[in-house]
Structure 1
């Protein structure tokens, strides 16, 4: 039962990260070039 809870929490977290474009290579590149606040807003 505990494993199912972790699986559901991880799946939900992954969907949220994907929908917020945190998994996008373009967004990660912008973050490291200090061109956009989007990723810092998600992390913060």
Structure 2
């Protein structure tokens, strides 16, 4: 189970859809961190 999670969270997924999903997740995390820290980062 851990191995499967690690595969899905790799920076370079084999699937293009997963790649888009990964990038969207990074953007979401960055946005959340931005909100939590009350800091606006230039995009």
Q: Which has the higher helix share?
A: 1
The higher-RCO structure (CA 8 Å, 6+ apart) is 1
The alignment's TM-score, normalised by the length of structure 2, stands at 0.50
The alignment's TM-score, normalised by the length of structure 1, stands at 0.49
